[in-house]
Structure 1
């Protein structure tokens, strides 16, 4: 900042207020039909990657407001409450910036492209992985094509986990994204994976069903829940390909 900019700062600004300024990171309005629920549990279910411990720490620090008043972690939310989570630093920039990262693109046309993702690469920015992702690499690829628009953006249809390698379809147009998403929704696209698992399945073939969602205690871990309680319903058909005694190679179809 230049000296001239410093002189433009109004004399009436209170330095103490500047230091204590809080920035709103989340704002939620409780539904009309919401029953009484502790605010730490409510926020854990509404804010992605938020652990109950972190929420309780924020409440103790006075960073959780209900109707502009700081509340404790045992406050019970009521219908139409306005909840704000405020912190001493501004929200992180969520813009996906282009990064020149090598990609294994095995097919591409005017409507979509197919990436063979390596294990260890995160598909899109998220908690603890704000850049260096496949999406950052795709933005670079899109914007360095002949005649590309400077704001060209890839449109993700699905994803696979960081430590999983495999094929990912990426749409180039909204129409292609809509049609591909419809295929995934109606399970008309077959997805087959191979995995190494501990032990040997009792049956050489079978089906595993359950609801998959984030663990209620640790939001960074996925868990399987009984049907109809939490998570998204999932069905996996498996087939034993090879028995190594203590581990097995299995084929999984979703």
Structure 2
């Protein structure tokens, strides 16, 4: 037996407040199972386009009733209980403005968009940086985006650093966002990167495991720290090509911590070329706009059709030039 959904008029004798009134969506459903289940867990299973945290916020705000009474997250549901959920309309973005922007679209449908992000483009706004971000361009490209995932990061599933280039996926609906974020968390989605680093690592492949947290001396940086002071991070690397005093490496992420590849490379004494934060070398064979780090491949299951999809982004011209110059130097030596 599946839950029954309907949108009835709210009986005046049931509520004396404004529950379910005005703009928004009011849903009524019946709990069908013989065994009890917590209210929040069942609602998440029925409204998969909403995250558990968002459902719990609805409950805490008094937007959920069980048999006419305000529910709590741990309220046990029993067969035949009537649950009403009122979902208010999305909060508007207060100051973000859509901006026309040339987007390098690798794929797009009604549920998601995959882009090849250029260097120099910040993904989402932050205090003091509200213009010229990828989100501003996406708001112009996708008018429905403002209602997704929050005030400053609508639709953003994962992020790339400002000067990191390559594949990035953005959800175009709340359902797609939640399902794609789960894929990132459960490692169903795969992310692979190319980077040119200083020096040549020992061996042809390896794994870096090191918790990442704030640098103890410079709070603007991150570093490999003790497990108690950071979050577990795991990066797999393989050597693609030796380039004299440099190397081209390919990385695969198990986790997605802030600056993860950059911090792990610096930790193994092979910082990413051009990294303004974690590399001390400033004399480079090619002028770089930032670190030579590129998200070359993104694999994911389509959040609606479940089809496996793999996207690849070509190397940016400046990184391709850097590799060509280094190869030429090797051949000339």
> TM-score, normalization: structure 1?
0.57
CA-CA distance at 1:128 after TM superposition: 5.3
2:228 aligned counterpart, secondary structure: coil
User: In structure 1, how many angstroms separate the alpha carbons of the residues matched to 2:94 and 2:218?
Assistant: 23
The residue that corresponds to 1:201 in the other structure is 201
Question: Residue 127 of structure 1: CA displacement?
Answer: 5.5
Q: CA deviation at 1:224?
A: 1.7
Alignment of 1:131-146 (within 5 A): 131-143=131-143
In structure 1, the partner of 2:247 is: 248
Distance in 2 (CA, whole Å) between partners of 1:237 and 1:185 is: 17
Post-superposition offset of 1:131: 1.8
Which runs of at least 4 in structure 1 moved beyond 4 Å after TM superposition?
A: none
CA distance in 1, matches of 2:213, 2:131: 24
Map of 1:111-190 to 2, 5 A cutoff? 111-126=111-126, 129-143=129-143, 151=146, 154-190=154-190
**For 2:202 and 2:127, how far apart are their aligned partners in 1?**
37
For the structure 1 residues 104 and 198, does the alpha-carbon distance in structure 2 shift closer, same or farther, using more than 3 Å as the test? same
Gaps of 5+ in 2: 1-92, 149-153, 254-333
Q: TM-score scaled by structure 2?
A: 0.44
Give the SS at the match of 1:191: strand
Shift of 1:210: 0.9
Shift of 1:218: 2.9
Contact 1:237 1:253 in 2 (8 A): yes
How far off is 1:94 after superposition? 6.7
Residue by residue, what CA displacement relative to the aligned partner does 1:94-153 show, whole Å, maximum 9, x if unpaired?
73221112111111111111111011111111255332111111111112xxxx58x555
The 1:218/1:136 distance shift into structure 2, 3 A limit, reads farther
**Residues paired across the two proteins, number:** 156
- Structure 2 CA distance for partners of 1:127 and 1:211, relative to 1, 3 Å: farther
Counterpart secondary structure, 2:232: strand
- Compute the displacement of 1:188 (Å): 1.0
Alignment correspondent of 2:230: 231
Larger strand percent: 1
Following the alignment from structure 2 to structure 1, what is the Cα–Cα distance between the partners of residues 170 and 128?
23
SS in 2 for 1:155: coil
RMSD: 2.0
Change (3 A) 1:128 1:200: farther
Contact 1:122–1:129, Cα closer than 8 Å, also in 2:
no
Q: In 2, distance between residues paired with 1:189 and 1:108?
A: 17
Inter-CA distance 220–179: structure 2 relative to 1 (3 Å threshold): same
| Cα distance in 2 between the residues matched to 1:218 and 1:139 | 35
| CA distance in structure 2 between the partners assigned to 1:181 and 1:136 by the alignment | 21
- Residue ranges of structure 1 left out of the alignment (5+ in a row): 1-92
Match of 1:103 in 2: 103
Specify whether residues 232 and 137 from structure 1 end up closer, same or farther in structure 2 by C-alpha distance, changes over 3 A only.
Answer: same
Mark the CA change 1:99 to 1:216 in structure 2 (over 3 Å): closer, same or farther.
farther
1:197 CA displacement: 0.8
